[in-house]
Structure 1
């Protein structure tokens, strides 16, 4: 991990926020995925979901991951949440990177979208710019916790 956080630290933080390794919300997440796909289509920017995003959301979806030291910071793993105009920006970034992207969450108070690509990598779409967040969910969570984002440009 790029920030020095151990697997145990991330696991403990996730558990403190309601996640367990056995967690499976496959019965609840399809409605949220469908809502996100429909929102994107209604916005004129189709966002088909892919297997990597579905797998992530089955285990981590619908969590409110609170920052341990910043009480007002939360990472919501809900693809249907987010902000107006996100889908246009996501479509532009997807085209720029040449890979499909799907919104798997967002954070507050920064109003940024958490995106995942078809390979399971994570991106942080902030109003100020787009950033690489991590190669997998553990790295993305660790980097989010310490504000470690790599600019794409």
Structure 2
């Protein structure tokens, strides 16, 4: 199953790095940036997280909340959040249930080798839980990802 624009996002998103349940309804009335990334502490994933961190107050000012998702463990997420002072929750989707449900898990080709893994994907979910924009794969500019979302905000209004 692959989520597309106009689909309702799943209610149960997963557990964050503290073991708290994260649900779509927790963000009712706010837009949600639900971003999927391959691995904590890698260059692209760190750049993406730091872009979102550096523009977090501006994103919140425009009605957005941010939640990151990877297949890393909660312990890995705790270290990643502390190291880079990330102000938003990170879901530990170790069984890649949400990744698969959202269509952010699939075949990747790395240096000629095919593997299954996380496809870098960001879903912009509106106040009613409906997906209104998707950035996938090479569309995600990790170092300027927050700007991509904020620029998108102007066109969605």
TM-score (norm 2): 0.33
Q: Calculate the TM-score normalised by the size of structure 1.
A: 0.33
